[in-house]
Chain A
Amino acid sequence: MLWNSFLLALREIRRNLLRSFLTTLGIVIGVSAVITMVTLGNGATQAVKNQVASLGSNLLQIRSGQRMFGPPGSGARAPAFELADVAAIQERISGLAAVAPEISRTATVVSSANNWSTSVTGSSNDFLLAGNWQLAAGREFSKAELDGGQSVCIIGETIRRELFGTRQPLGESMRVKNFSCEIIGILVSKGQATMGRDQDEIVLMPIHTVQRRLSGNRDVSSIQVSVQNEGDIDRVKNELTQLLRERRRLEKGEDDNFNVQDTRQIAETLSGTTQILTTLLGAVASVSLLVGGIGIMNIMLVSVTERTREIGIRLAIGALEREVLLQFLIEAVVLAMLGGLIGIVLATLASVGLAGVMQVPYSFNLGINVLAFVFSAGIGILFGFMPAKRAARLDPIEALRHE
């Protein structure tokens, strides 16, 4: 009986091809939207993780406050680091390749007619080491420049291009906010990072310079620590925590007011945002799937009314109530599943295309495809049931009289 109903449903769908297609359109769009959103979102998450992982697994990042994305204020209450903390780390913990203090401020940089608003980072030469930066031209900061907080900077490729075009500006000056700064080095391009963030948009200065000229205080907002030996990472993490607790005078039992994250944790923190975004977009898209379901119900109700006479014929011929019910239900489900299949195909095409444009990796996500398909079939059952029930309940005499 089930197979028969399936055949009948297919025959009906074929008989009304245009309407069938329009009916499924909502589901097609819904399914493809959900799958595309989730696939691209996962791609973006993966891209962030890849990018962080490319920094190497021997990097630790220390920030003040408990979490990177804690509630507003929680980070502010925790005291910032000082350069003395950096010195203490270098002194007391062994096996470190680089310890780079970091502070950054937004500023407009100007050269002749060109200007560019960017973030200016204050650090030491260890920043280049920890971040795996190479110099394309020029040199690192000298000890005198670092200690004296002189106005010198090392710039990334994007800054060079935007301010100087094709020129090689080594030794020239550019204006940062209200002071002039000599360019002593240019970094090798790292290229576009994922989601449009440009890694080459960087202006690096001695930390004293930024503190004195831009931030106006002696705070260090974060510290990057590069460990020589990957195996030491847990030991270093523990020692860092211990040392910083001591220096920040935390009592036993008191929570850390800073955090030490390795690259895996950094990746997770960063990808947290994209994951939330993915979930959100997926949820929005699934609303369209629901709307598609309502579209199916709508058309099925119209179809039942329009085919009242036909239902009357079927009933007169001896169709059982449940056979008519099943026929319409299966029709709705088959329509929904067809929509789901078309949606999957569209989503795959769209995902591959958009992943290329957005420069995120594409990976076929079996889970979401199966889920979307099953969900669309479920929607067919849910929204097909009411019209089907109505069809099955028709009085054959009334139905035959229907014009």
Chain B
Amino acid sequence: MSALIEFRNITKTYGQGQAAFQALRGVDLRIDEGDFVAVMGPSGSGKSTAMNIIGCLDVPTSGEYLFRDVHVEQLDRNQRALLRRNFLGFVFQGFNLLARTTAQENVELPLLYRGESTTTREQMAAAALEQVGLTGWGHHTSAELSGGQQQRVAIARAIVTNPTLLLADEPTGNLDTQRSREIMELLASLNRDKGITILMVTHEPDMAEYAKRVVHFVDGRVDSDVRHRETG
């Protein structure tokens, strides 16, 4: 399998001088296309920083980050935005749906920035909602949906553009166990059936079970990198 993401000695320092804090201290990491990686570690271990850099929301202080052999650390703000638009999908712990906006409109949002026509947007959004099992819920606003449903809408919004990489930041953090399992099943199936590479930050070992590979961060370094026995 070819490398989708490659970190070469990535460091990230926040602040300057005395107050400087090194969040990442030389990380080497390679993620192949089609993988499903769970990132774990205590808070302050650098996992969120790493996610932000992989998600092109932040840039490393030093080191090289290659996304499909493109040097992301050399891209400017707009180029990184375009990379996010075309290749990445985000799912957050707090769902982050637009308030007072219907599920359908939320899912259409990324397509709007891609300049898709109204009919294309509607069709693609409906298809994405169907994939997350929310057919018929399109006209409901976020406030009218349960937590699990909201996260499904968020996942639909993330996959509506057929991204190469789906980044999930504690996607089950705000959900009960039952709902969490359903979301994880959904992510696993997207990885399995659609070949979307998934990178997921989680605190819960139960949820990490669904991944094919678990990377542990401690003190700004990769502490362990374990590949599970292929399941399902």
Q: Quick check: is B81 within 8 A (CB to CB) of the other chain?
A: yes
Tell me which residues across on chain B come within 8 A of A321, comparing CB atoms: 77-78, 81
Q: Mark B28-58, 1 if CB is under 8 A from A, else 0.
A: 0000000000000000000000001001011
Interchain CB contact (< 8 A) of B113 among A11, A319, A400: A319
CA distance A309 to B55 in the complex (A): 17
Contact with B along A71-98 (1 / 0, CB 8 A): 0000000000000000000000000000
**Count of chain A residues near B, Cβ 8 A:** 24
On whether A397 and B84 interact (CB within 8 A), knowing A8-B112, A317-B109, the answer reads no
B98 interface hit (Cβ, 8 Å): yes
| B75 → A minimal CB distance (Å) | 13
Q: Nearest chain-A residue to B154 (Cβ)?
A: A313
CB-based contact B110/A317 at 8 Å: yes
Question: C-beta contact mask, A368-403 vs B, less than 8 Å → 1, else 0?
Answer: 000000000000000000000000000011001000
Q: Determine if B84 and A317 form an interchain contact, defined as CB atoms under 8 angstroms apart.
A: yes
Q: In the complex, A8 Cα to B111 Cα: how many Å? A: 12
- Residues of A near B83 (CB, < 8 A) are 318
Q: Complex formed: what's the CA distance from A316 to B86 in Å? A: 11
* A323 touching B113 in the complex, CB below 8 Å, given contacts A318-B86, A397-B52, A400-B92: yes
- Whether the pair A310, B98 counts as a contact (CB closer than 8 A) is yes
Known: A8-B112, A314-B109, A397-B52. A320 touches B78 (CB 8 A): yes
A15:B100 contact, CB within 8 angstroms: yes
Q: Are B82 and A320 in contact (CB under 8 A)?
A: yes
Our count of residue pairs bridging A and B at CB distance below 8 angstroms stands at: 60
**In the complex the two chains form, is A397's CB within 8 Å of B90's CB?**
no
B135 at the interface (CB under 8 A from A): no
Q: Taking A309-B96, A397-B52, A400-B92 as contacts, is the C-beta distance between A318 and B81 under 8 angstroms?
A: yes
* Nearest A-chain residue to B49, judged by Cβ: A397
A276 touches B (CB below 8 Å): no
A82 → B minimal CB distance (Å)? 83
Docked Cα-Cα span, A337 to B110, in Å, equals: 28
CB distance from B162 to the nearest CB of A (A): 13
- Overall SS of chain A's interface: helix
Given A320-B81, A397-B52, decide whether A313 and B96 contact each other with a Cβ distance below 8 A: yes
Please state if B112 and A316 are interface contacts (CB–CB under 8 Å).
Answer: no
User: Is there contact, CB below 8 Å, between A316 and B84?
Assistant: yes
- Complex: how many Å from CA A15 to CA B57? 28
Task: Give the complex CA separation of A318 and B99 in angstroms.
Answer: 19
Residues from chain A with a CB closer than 8 A to the CB of B100 are 15-16
- Chain B residues 54 to 91 lying within 8 A of chain A, measured CB to CB, are 55, 57-58, 77-78, 81-86, 88, 90
Chain A residues whose CB sits within 8 angstroms of the CB of B136 once the complex forms = none
Query: What per-residue 1/0 map shows which CB atoms of B92-117 lie under 8 Å from chain A?
Result: 10001011110001000110110100
Q: Do A318 and B92 form a contact, CB below 8 Å, given A4-B115, A11-B105, A397-B52? A: no
Q: Looking at the complex, which one of B55, B90, B115, B157 makes contact with A1 (CB distance below 8 Å)? A: B115
The reply on A203 being an interface residue by CB < 8 A is: no
Question: Considering only CB atoms and an 8 Å cut-off, how many residues of chain B contact the other chain?
Answer: 27
Contact, CB under 8 Å: B113 / A316: no
Q: Is the CB of A400 within 8 A of B96?
A: yes
- If A8-B112, A396-B57, A397-B57 touch, whether A315 touches B81 (CB-CB below 8 Å) is yes
Residue ID in chain A nearest B106 by CB atoms: A313
Given contacts A309-B96, A397-B52, contact A317 B57 (CB under 8 A): no
CA of A4 to CA of B85 in the docked complex: distance in angstroms? 16
- In the complex, whether A302 has a CB less than 8 A from a CB of chain B is no
A8 nearest in chain B by CB position: B112
Given that A1-B115, A4-B115, A11-B105 are contacting pairs, would A319 and B81 also be in contact in the complex, using a CB cutoff of 8 Å? yes
Q: Which residues of B contact A4 (CB under 8 A)?
A: 112-113, 115
Q: Is A7 interfacial (CB-CB < 8 Å)?
A: yes
B105 engages A316 (CB within 8 Å):
no
Contact of B77 with A316 in the complex, beta carbons under 8 Å:
no
Is A316's CB under 8 angstroms from B82's CB? no
Report chain A residues within 8 Å CB of B55. 316
- Chain A residues with Cβ below 8 Å from B112 are 4, 7-8
B8 to chain A, nearest CB (A): 22
Give the docked Cα–Cα distance between A323 and B90 (Å): 19
A15 to B143, CA, bound (A): 14
The 5 closest A-B pairs by CB, nearest first: A318-B85, A318-B84, A317-B110, A15-B100, A396-B57
Interface residues of A (CB under 8 A from B): 1, 4, 7-8, 11, 15-16, 309-310, 312-323, 396-397, 400
Q: Sample 21 A-B pairs with CB under 8 A, ordered by A number.
A: A4-B115, A11-B101, A15-B100, A309-B96, A312-B96, A314-B109, A314-B113, A315-B81, A317-B84, A317-B90, A317-B110, A317-B113, A319-B85, A319-B113, A320-B78, A321-B81, A322-B78, A396-B57, A397-B52, A397-B58, A400-B92
